[in-house]
Amino acid sequence: MAEIIQRDGTWVFDGGALRLTPGRDRNVGLLRKELGELAVPLGALAGVSLEQGKKVGRLRLRLRDGADPLLEATGGKLGEPNDPYQLSVEADRFGVAEYFVDEVRNALLLDEVPAGPVDGYLLPGPAVPLSASAGDGTATFDGESVRLDWNWKTEEAKSAAGARTLALGDITAVEWHPAVGLENGCLRFSVRGAETKAPPKYDPNSVELWGFKKDPLMALIAAAVQARLPHPAVSVPEEAALPAAGADRAAIPAPAAEADHDALLRRLRELGELRREGVLTEEEFALAKQAVLKRL
Compute how many other C-beta atoms are within 10 angstroms of the C-beta atom of residue 26: 7
pLDDT for the residue numbered 247: 43
The amino acid present at 17, given as its one-letter code, is A
How many angstroms from the chain centroid is the CA of residue 74?
A: 8
Compute how many other C-beta atoms are within 10 angstroms of the C-beta atom of residue 98: 15
For residue 146, the cross-strand partners are 141, 166
User: Which residues make Cβ contacts (< 8 Å) with residue 3, sequence separation at least 6?
Assistant: 10, 11, 12, 13, 100
Tens-digit pLDDT string for the chain (296 aa): 899 999 999 999 999 999 999 998 888 999 999 999 999 999 999 999 999 988 899 999 999 999 999 999 999 898 888 999 999 999 999 999 999 999 999 999 999 999 999 999 999 999 999 999 999 999 999 999 999 999 999 999 899 989 999 999 999 999 999 998 888 999 999 999 888 888 999 999 999 999 999 999 999 999 999 999 999 885 444 444 444 444 443 444 444 444 456 666 666 777 777 677 666 677 667 767 776 666 65
**For 122, which DSSP code?**
S
pLDDT for the residue numbered 144: 96
Please calculate the CA angle 31-35-38 and round it to the nearest 5 degrees. Answer: 130
Report how far apart the first and last C-alpha atoms of the chain are (Å, whole number): 33
106 membership: H or E segment, kind and range: helix 94-110
Is residue 74 within 8 A of residue 176, CB to CB? The reply is: yes
User: Which residues make Cβ contacts (< 8 Å) with residue 115, sequence separation at least 6?
Assistant: 46, 47, 64, 270, 273, 274
**Beta strands 164-167 and 171-177, pairing class:** unpaired
User: Which residues make Cβ contacts (< 8 Å) with residue 112, sequence separation at least 6?
Assistant: 267
Q: Model's pTM, two decimal places?
A: 0.77
For residue 207, the cross-strand partners are 187
266 membership: H or E segment, kind and range: helix 256-276
pLDDT for the residue numbered 295: 60
